[in-house]
Amino acid sequence: MIQIKYPHSSSDFVNEYLAIFDLVQLEQDWNTYKTTYNLQNCNFTVQDILKGDFNFLLDKSLKIAYPISDIKNKIKLYKLKKIFDYDKYQPQIANFFMKYKSEMKLSTCYYCNIDYINAFVSDNYPNKLDFINNANQEIFTKISNVGEATFKKIDAIRPYISVDDFQQKLNSKKIQNLDEIIETINNQSYPQYIQKNHFTLDHVIDKATNPIVALSLFNFVPSCYSCNSKFKKSEQFTNNSLEHYKSPTHSGFHFDEKVKFKLLFSSAVTDLTVKSIDDIDVLLKDNENLFDDYIKIFKLNDRYRYHKNIILELLNKKQDYSNSRIDEISKIVGKSKKEIEKDLFGKEIFEGELQEEPFTKLKRDIYV
Same domain, 81 and 130: no
Which of 35-49, 267-281, 286-300 is least confident? 267-281
Confirm if 151 and 140 have CB atoms less than 8 A apart: yes
Same domain, 39 and 172: no
Same domain, 235 and 260: no
* CA proximity to 354, closest of 118, 114, 119: 114
What's the predicted TM-score (pTM) here? 0.79
* pLDDT at position 150: 84
Q: How far from 255 is each of 215, 240, 361, CA to CA, in Å?
A: 25, 18, 10
Q: What does the pLDDT average to over 8-20?
A: 89
- 84 has pLDDT over 60: yes
Per residue in 160-205, pLDDT tens? Answer: 999 889 888 888 777 777 777 777 777 766 555 566 778 899 999 9
Q: In which domain, by residue range, is 352 found?
A: 255-367
Q: Is 185 part of a structural domain of the chain? A: yes
CA 172 to chain centre: 46
Same domain, 128 and 95: no
Same domain, 136 and 26: no
pLDDT greater at residue 68 or residue 15:
15
Same domain, 359 and 221: no
* pLDDT at position 190: 54
Query: Which of 212, 246, 280 marks a domain boundary?
Result: 246
Same domain, 291 and 152: no
Q: Is 107 part of a structural domain of the chain? A: no
Same domain, 80 and 134: no
Assess whether the previous peptide bond of 191 is cis (omega < 30° from 0). yes
Q: Is 5 part of a structural domain of the chain? A: no
Q: Is 113 part of a structural domain of the chain? A: no
Q: Is 230 part of a structural domain of the chain? A: yes
Same domain, 181 and 211: no
Same domain, 275 and 298: yes
Same domain, 267 and 143: no
Q: CA-based angle 332:333:338, to the nearest 5?
A: 105
Domains of the chain: total: 3
Q: How far from 323 is each of 240, 274, 299, 328, CA to CA, in Å?
A: 48, 19, 36, 9
Q: Is 4 part of a structural domain of the chain? A: no
Same domain, 98 and 210: yes
Per residue in 195-238, pLDDT tens? Answer: 677 889 999 998 988 899 999 999 999 999 999 999 998 888 77
Query: Which of 217, 246, 275 marks a domain boundary?
Result: 246
Q: Is 108 part of a structural domain of the chain? A: no
Q: Is 109 part of a structural domain of the chain? A: no
Q: Strands 200-203, 220-223: parallel, antiparallel or unpaired by DSSP?
A: antiparallel
